[in-house]
Amino acid sequence: MSRLEKLVLATNNPDKMKEMKAVFSIQGSIVLGLDNFPEVGEIEETGATLLENSFLKAHAVHIITGLPAIADDTGLEVDALNGAPGVFSARYAGEKATYDDNVNKLLLDMRSVADDFRTARFRTVSSFTDGIRELWTEGIIEGEITREAIGAGGFGFDSVFKLLQNGKTFAEMTEKEKNKISHRGIALRKMQELLKNTFKE
């Protein structure tokens, strides 16, 4: 099977793009961002699941650019909120919500939830399409929702998600520490291996 020469990371979110580029690489391949393809614009996420949204973005970018595309969609699933915000994580506080808007709404919604019941997980689904093949992987990491924002790094819900494995929020970690263990890092490393095996020389 032929080598994967070029592929596009299908996100307009600069924070996600930075993480994806830090984690993902394929030897011998040129990995491009959407900053190279301004004609793509915003892609509406109308899927009912993370997998559907991920493939919506991958397909749209592949069709417009003509290149293989990798996309992902991530959701924070809070047990006390029956899995919400889930697929609506990026717009939890509304369509034009900022990171702070979403965090503040989550903390408000969780204000009466006891410490023992604040469990949650981040789930990322990564997808790939080249018009012929469709592949996907998943990364999950368990944690709990804090009672206030902790840490100055990261983005999204990172400051209120404390990992079970080290007791830190993602916002307290360096980028390197986060990428090594994060849900997105797990999903992208799985995708990296899947593509290496799929596109062997």
Q: What is the pLDDT of residues 62-85, one digit of tens each?
A: 999 999 999 999 999 999 999 999
Residue 149: CB atoms within 10 Å? 16
Res 18: pLDDT: 87
pLDDT, averaged across the chain: 93
pLDDT band at 111 (very low <50, low <70, confident <90, very high): very high
The residue segments making up the domain with residue 105 are 6-198
Q: Which residues lie below 8 Å from residue 50, measured CB to CB, with a gap of 6+?
A: 73, 74, 75, 86, 87, 123, 124, 125
Res 201: pLDDT: 56
**1 within domain boundaries:** no
**66 within domain boundaries:** yes
158 catalytic? Reply is: no
Res 1: pLDDT: 40
Given the residues 15, 35, 72, 73, the one annotated as active site? 73
Q: What is the pLDDT of residues 8-34, one digit of tens each?
A: 999 988 888 888 888 888 877 888 999
Q: Which amino acid is at 59?
A: H
**16 within domain boundaries:** yes
pTM of the model: 0.92
What percent of the chain lies above the pLDDT cut of 70?
98
**140 within domain boundaries:** yes
Give the total number of structural domains in the chain. Answer: 1
**61 within domain boundaries:** yes
- Measure the CA–CA gap between 133 and 118, rounded to whole angstroms: 39
Res 24: pLDDT: 87
Instruction: Report H helices in 43-182.
Output: 50-65, 99-109, 175-181
Mean pLDDT of 86-90: 96
**168 within domain boundaries:** yes
Q: What is the pLDDT of residues 132-188, one digit of tens each?
A: 999 999 999 999 999 999 999 999 999 999 999 999 999 999 999 999 999 999 999
CATH of the domain at 17: 3.90.950.10
Q: Which residues lie below 8 Å from residue 101, measured CB to CB, with a gap of 6+?
A: 92, 93, 94
For 189, the 3-state DSSP assignment is helix
